[in-house]
């Protein structure tokens, strides 16, 4: 699928939701926001029916249902009542604010979130994945980006102003607040929904007009008016991720983490990113569609660890597992009080302020101040610099530093890679079955919608061993819909697959042992020479990145231009990054690495990282092209090692044919033709043993070598 930036990356680059609405220094290219996919405003209630075979044991078994059955229309009624109700709360003495900002995020900066946290969608009606709502005493405005202007126009409740972020003259949220509020106003936020960094930026921006940023702790104003109709927080059972897939046991991971703590002169760390918690504990959950994670926090200290989670999610086996690992279970809601008690016992707490909420950071700061004043400790400096000089007078202190889990999780171990390889082969088998079926159906004149096709793909995938869920909502776009990069077909209004147009399919799955993400673009009839030229140039970019060799420790953006070069030659480009990180049986988008034109991300590409390779080209109102494989960074074993560094390259994880009918072979160099033939040879060798019948034949037909004319 195309490269929306992964979460952690976006945190590095655009730490505040408000920044996203600023004008770009790179014109059109950079106004592209970090996330493509919609917030999942439905909460699937999968039956606990196991599809897992005995050799791929799923601890808490799960099965997915087609999204067409689950999707429901958002409630579009009573917009004014909601605004009236929320404004009545503004004047409550314990709240007392002049404006309230409702961001898209949950308390963990998740890309996909549970329905009960879709507050921005509830209050405004707008369900797109990116957007910020701001309500003042007499105005309500919603900021979103170019991908969502049309959708927001259709969905926004009456009384809302649409702020087309990135358009000339459109203010940012803070600029708007500075313009319309009387100086010295009070701007409220739910401090759990803002990272400490983004709250700091907001505070700074609105202080220009002497506005005060007010953290409203005790109540989320949207929840307060949502009342009974608000979905319950998800509460699904947590399962243990088998060591044969995780590769490293939880004790070893905790031990490494504790070494990092010691090295940073810290005694504890609080982690709030859900995939970091899942990775650290070798646990998986199903609180959120597509992401096998559970809502929780964890605090790891040198001599203990506490998991903050609703204990209804923990069955006795998992409870034993946690106990064996020395992890205590605490209520999810008690995170703040525990953070405060850490200060009381003099902890030096590692906080990644780009992900940890301002609620947590402030709770610790305040508790530190309290400690300092009550103990008469002269050392008022509660901000320690990691690796800095150690002061003799020790008290509680915050150590502000990026999460050490982010890199550890991104660099896959051999077991994780093996799981990724294996799950990709099964996924490829499902894809071969699917494409064989689809070509036959279309060939025999069947009328299929984009959703029909996505549902059928899910059916094929769900028959594969260890299948759990899709890894994101399938993007199934015929003709012009393929040009909408975030396109999500809706059952009642999606298109019929047009055999005379290009068809783009971007999909992925969560398996017990790995996560997949693949895009193929095909034509069922006769593509035009223009479509072929565009496809071929996208393919050239894909090949150039796939074949790239580069020095160890180089940032990913250096490779981004390789994937665009062939398109640039004729003045074409695509408005998204080329590659994002992918978790191992975890989130389909993860950081910290990326291959993108977001040049601020200096994260180096390192052995064992998994990235997508997905250049594309999109012609508005006509067609979309994207070719996506997942790759793993590996040593290239070059004959020389100039500079004493190793040179790295990529290993392909995805093995599904690329439609050669769409290639203009005269444009491809001999090297590129060789790449294509070699890739198809590997596809045949690896996947043909896994399929039979029409899928076997389809695979044979679609992996035949081509010859340069």
Q: By the criterion CB under 8 A, which residues form the site for a copy of itself? A: 25-29, 208, 389, 548-551, 553-555, 557-562, 565, 567-573, 575, 597, 599, 602, 636, 638-645, 647, 669-671
In angstroms, what is the minimal distance from the CB of 558 to a copy of itself?
5
Closer CB to a copy of itself, 84 or 671, in the complex: 671
In angstroms, what is the minimal distance from the CB of 402 to a copy of itself?
14
Closer CB to a copy of itself, 121 or 595, in the complex: 595
Beta strands in 76-139, from DSSP E residues, in sequence order: 99-102, 132-136
In angstroms, what is the minimal distance from the CB of 29 to a copy of itself?
7
In angstroms, what is the minimal distance from the CB of 192 to a copy of itself?
33
Cα of 453 vs its chain's centroid, Å:
24
DSSP 387-441: TSPPPSS---EEEE---THHHHHHS--HHHHHHHHHHHHHHHHHHHHHHHHHHHH
Closer CB to a copy of itself, 91 or 602, in the complex: 602
CA distance 574 to 609: 24
Rg, C-alpha atoms of the chain: 25
In angstroms, what is the minimal distance from the CB of 622 to a copy of itself?
13
Tokens of 242: 């088998």
CA distance 257 to 387: 16
Q: Is the dihedral of CA 238, 239, 245, 250 positive or negative?
A: positive
Closer CB to a copy of itself, 302 or 549, in the complex: 549
Closer CB to a copy of itself, 224 or 619, in the complex: 619
In angstroms, what is the minimal distance from the CB of 128 to a copy of itself?
22
CA distance 522 to 34: 27
Could you tell me if 589 and 630 are in contact, meaning their C-beta atoms sit under 8 angstroms apart? Answer: no
Q: How many residues does the chain have?
A: 709
In angstroms, what is the minimal distance from the CB of 150 to a copy of itself?
19
Closer CB to a copy of itself, 137 or 607, in the complex: 607
Residues 6+ apart with CB under 8 A from 315: 60, 237, 238
Of 386, 196, 355, 357, nearest to 276 by C-alpha is: 355
Rounded to 10°, the helix 414-443/693-701 angle is 90
Closer CB to a copy of itself, 510 or 596, in the complex: 596
Q: Maximum distance among all alpha carbons in the chain?
A: 84
Closer CB to a copy of itself, 93 or 169, in the complex: 169
Q: Which residues pair with 503 in a beta bridge?
A: 478, 522
CA distance 222 to 225: 5
Tokens of 555: 């940032």
Q: Which of the 8 DSSP states describes residue 650?
A: E
Q: Give all strands of the β-sheet with 99-102 in edge-to-edge order.
A: 161-164, 140-144, 132-136, 99-102, 186-189, 212-215
Number of H helices, E strands in the chain: 21, 28
Tokens of 575: 């408005």
Closer CB to a copy of itself, 243 or 641, in the complex: 641
Closer CB to a copy of itself, 21 or 564, in the complex: 564
CA distance 628 to 252: 34
Closer CB to a copy of itself, 59 or 601, in the complex: 601
212-215 and 186-189 as β-strands: parallel, antiparallel, unpaired? parallel
């Amino acid at each position: 699928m195309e490269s929306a930036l992964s979460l952690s990356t976006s945190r590095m680059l655009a730490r505040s939701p408000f920044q996203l609405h600023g004008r770009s220094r790179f014109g059109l290219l950079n106004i592209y926001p970090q996330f493509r996919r919609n917030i999942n405003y439905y909460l699937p209630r999968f039956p606990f029916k196991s599809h897992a075979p005995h050799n791929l044991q799923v601890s808490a078994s799960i099965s997915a249902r087609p999204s067409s059955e689950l999707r429901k229309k958002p409630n579009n009624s009573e917009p004014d009542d909601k605004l009236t109700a929320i404004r009545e709360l503004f004047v409550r003495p314990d709240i007392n604010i002049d404006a309230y900002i409702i961001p898209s995020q949950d308390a963990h900066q998740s890309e996909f979130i549970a329905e009960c946290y879709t507050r921005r969608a509830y209050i405004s009606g707008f369900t797109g994945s990116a957007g910020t709502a701001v309500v003042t005493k007499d105005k309500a405005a919603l900021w979103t980006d170019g991908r969502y202007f049309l959708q927001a126009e259709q969905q926004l409740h009456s009384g809302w102003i649409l702020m087309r972020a990135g358009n000339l003259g459109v203010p940012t949220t803070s600029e708007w607040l500075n313009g319309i509020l009387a100086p010295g106003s009070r701007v409220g936020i739910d401090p759990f929904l803002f990272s400490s960094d983004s709250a700091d930026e907001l505070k700074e921006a609105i202080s220009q007009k002497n506005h005060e940023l007010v953290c409203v702790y005790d109540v989320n104003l949207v929840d307060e008016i949502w009342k009974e109709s608000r979905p319950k927080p998800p509460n699904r059972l947590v399962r243990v991720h088998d060591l044969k897939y995780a590769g490293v046991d939880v004790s070893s991971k905790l031990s490494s983490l504790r070494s990092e703590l010691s090295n940073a002169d810290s005694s504890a760390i609080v982690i709030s990113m859900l995939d970091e918690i899942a990775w650290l504990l070798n646990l998986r959950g199903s609180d959120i569609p597509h992401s096998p994670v559970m809502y929780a926090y964890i605090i790891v200290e040198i001599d203990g660890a506490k998991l903050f989670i609703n204990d209804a999610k923990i069955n006795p086996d998992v409870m034993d597992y946690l106990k064996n690992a020395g992890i205590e279970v605490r209520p999810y809601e008690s995170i703040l009080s525990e953070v405060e008690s850490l200060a009381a016992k003099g902890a030096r707490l590692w906080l990644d302020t780009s992900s940890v909420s301002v609620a947590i950071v402030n709770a610790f700061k305040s508790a530190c101040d309290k400690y300092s004043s009550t103990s008469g400790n002269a050392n008022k400096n509660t901000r320690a610099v990691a690796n800095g000089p150690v002061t003799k007078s020790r008290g509680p202190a915050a150590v502000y530093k990026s999460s050490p889990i982010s890199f550890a999780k991104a660099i896959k171990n051999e077991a994780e890679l093996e799981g990724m390889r294996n799950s990709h082969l099964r996924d490829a088998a499902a894809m071969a079955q699917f494409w064989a079926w689809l070509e036959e159906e279309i060939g025999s004149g069947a009328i299929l919608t984009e959703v029909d096709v996505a549902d059928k793909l899910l059916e094929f995938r769900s028959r594969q061993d260890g299948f759990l869920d899709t890894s994101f909502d399938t993007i199934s776009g015929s003709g012009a819909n393929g040009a909408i990069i975030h396109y999500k077909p809706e059952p009642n209004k999606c298109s019929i697959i047009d055999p005379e147009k290009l068809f783009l399919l971007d999909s992925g799955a969560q398996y017990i042992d790995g996560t997949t993400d693949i895009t193929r673009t095909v034509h069922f009839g006769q593509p035009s020479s223009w479509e072929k030229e565009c496809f071929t140039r996208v393919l050239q970019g894909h090949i150039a990145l796939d074949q790239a060799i580069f020095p160890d420790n180089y940032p990913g953006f250096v490779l981004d231009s390789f994937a665009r070069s062939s398109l640039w030659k004729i003045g074409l480009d695509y408005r998204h990054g080329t590659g994002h990180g992918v978790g191992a049986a975890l989130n389909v988008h993860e950081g910290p690495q990326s291959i993108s034109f977001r040049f601020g991300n200096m994260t180096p590409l390192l052995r064992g990282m998994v990235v997508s390779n997905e250049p594309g080209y999109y012609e508005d109102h006509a067609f979309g092209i994207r070719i996506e494989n997942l790759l793993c960074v590996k040593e290239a074993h070059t004959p020389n090692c100039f500079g004493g560094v190793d040179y790295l390259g990529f290993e392909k994880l995805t093995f599904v044919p690329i439609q050669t009918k769409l290639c203009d072979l005269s444009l491809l160099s001999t090297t590129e033709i060789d790449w294509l033939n070699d890739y198809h040879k590997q596809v045949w060798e690896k996947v043909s043993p896994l399929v039979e019948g029409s899928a076997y034949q389809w695979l044979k037909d679609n992996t035949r070598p081509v010859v340069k004319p």
